Chains A and B, each alone.
Chain A
Amino acid sequence: MESVLRAENISKSFGPIEVLSGISLDLKPGEVHAVIGENGAGKSTLMRILSGHIAPTKGTLHLNGQPITFSGPVDAESHGIVLVHQEILLAPDLTVAQNLFLGREIRRFGFVDDKAMRERTRAILHELGTGIDPDREVSRLSIADRQLVQIARALLVPHKVVAFDEPTAVLTPVEAESLFEIIRKLRAQGVAVLYISHRLNEVKAVSDRVTVLRDGRHIATRDIEGLEPLEMARLMVGRDMSKLYPEKPATASDQPLLSVRDMAVPGYVENASFTLHRGEILGFGGLIGAGRTELFEALVGLRPGHGTVALDGKPMHFRDAREAMAAGIVYLSEDRKGKGLLLQQNLRVNLTLAALEKFSRGSFIDGNGEETALDKAIKDFDIRTRRRDLLAGQLSGGNQQKLLLAKMMLVEPRIVIIDEPTRGVDIGTKEQIYRFIASLAAEGRAVVVISSEMQELIGLCHRVVVMRNGRVAGEVAQADLSEDSIVYLATGVHEERAAEIAAGHA
């Protein structure tokens, strides 16, 4: 079949650094074409070239067989090529309809025609299979609904090619499934869909063909048939990835280190109790919004909550993160960019922020000590950075996570709580982070891993506590770890069976 959009030998350089070299890719009407690769492989750059946001340094684009250059994203849109951004780019205080038509309002006698826009919005949202109220303010929508609004906005213009950049990063499995339905619908209408994702299972489920990039180069383009996620990972990383998860360290004990009884966080968590043992990796599973993050934020004093917390049998109450750190407990936020790192500051400032008193002589900071610590962190955590003076915001997601880990390890904690340790992290770095978490437990520390990725909990943890609607729904022991057992507890489907599991192993 004739391709609708074809890229030929595309290269892109920023200054002396070539981030893409000689990429060719063709998109056919009615296919879902996935582009996968590690962070920094050039996926986003390629996507931005195809959608007219940036111009290639070398190579040409062809639209319906004719060579074409886009003057900008608006030009590309007018040719039917739309991009659904990874970040939510909506004005939170405007309504859904106002956002959808922002910058392209329907006018009537020079005035905006709210009624017409509302109707169009309703129709498009309905087509996407959702009943979001067009008059609702975006700030009052869930993240998933905002994503839908963003997709609706992209689909408002006549489209031949729709590109999705990591669309499921903020979605729950159920929400992701309805997104796939939308993608399949688009495909059925003869639209070419370009799909970028880290989640190889999703790629397997939704796409027809897969193009793999590595270090800015084209590695392979294959039909999905017969291409398993493991093989995709091998192509992306360039080595065998069958051993993503390390051996679980045999250090898990039954000596309680931290016990939490009847923890409550107003509006989020009720009566949560659990025990963390020395040398163990304890997983926390559940759907987004189940209250896992809130439970642990309250535990370390980052939000108000009450309950009985005992560390080594001694009752504790932390009023802020500082006190928790002093007791040897660190919490690594899931929101790395918003709560974990100072994106506008350099690596050194970020690294030592939590443990600054360790780098102080008298009242003054020991700059050399900091530099030495940064050298060590770069080496120990394999933080990959072009230059040492980069800002934290210029690192890739994986390297940011490594920096955050390095920062919190300077506190020398006994208990490490990691919220979504591999969100937005490429697969090669994932493996490194898993090995690091295992080594923490092997050193006798206790680790809590909060994760929405079932495979991660199963592959990494000794034990998994599952939360649902602000309560602890149950616990799954190592021997029983499976996607099924976690999903049952997380969703409450098959209530009786979930109760059985919980009772059997509590």
Chain B
Amino acid sequence: MKATVLKIAMAAGLMAGVATGAMAQQKNVTIGVSIPAATHGWTGGVVYHAQETAKQLEKGYPGLKVIVKTSPDGASQANAIDDLTSQKVDALVVLPFNSDELTNPMREVKKRGTFVTIVDRGLKDPSIQDIYVAGNNPEFGRVAGKYFVDNLKQGNVVVFRGIPTVIDEERVTNFEKALEGSGVKVIDKQYANWNRDDAFKVMQDYLAKHPKIDAVWASDDDMALGVMEAIRQAKREDIKFVLGGAGMKDMIKKVMDGDKMIPADVSYPPSMISTALGVTAAHFYTNAPMRGTYTLNAQLITKDNAKEHYFPNSPF
């Protein structure tokens, strides 16, 4: 894990160096980027970071061209990848909707000699990806679970799930695993689609159903906001805190300000796309070996380290 962090630091350093023009080599490289469209706060963050980083990199590396394509669903993403490869890209950076579905199309891309970088959700066949910048969903669940064990110790917790996907499944199973053997008990879990309005409704129903709830794992900052409104409406005093996830700026602000209900958050930064773009570009413009896996760990954000995670200019 340490090595990974080191590598990232190195990549960042390289980027910075390049940006000053110290090592600039004149070379024409095109990088295609395929990411989900901004239909949710987190993906909105991804789009924002991808575009910002693309601009920076194009400035830093003369001759570099970055094409960013967003897609509203898995099927259109497969089409978008076709479109990108037909534009003769040297590298393709992909944040897949569904890594299983994309494994075969990406194998075709790879066969043509395109450099492949995968972000967040790894392909079924890891040999396809030259670089894998991994979000760590099991860790995301574990960190959250550990927080409940450490801070609540004993009591009833209700859980909000996102949209039925592998990501969601990994987070929730590992969350529950982390609770095993402790006094913290999950008394209910429902899907709320990573959506504020749905989380609001489900929380209202939880409050009607369960007379005593000690804490809420909203598992997502958007959902946490809906949950907070429902608690406020019901004027319930039994709930000690709500733990979200992802690192939305409004939530980080609350953590920084010492909000009692939001004492912490778990990071899952949309800026991982920037890391992926950075190392991919570095592969073409430096001689350092860049291939490999970079794991970004889910980090617990508390009042102490909240500042490092606060990006007031990001839309997310």
Q: Do chains A and B touch in the complex (CB under 8 A)?
A: no
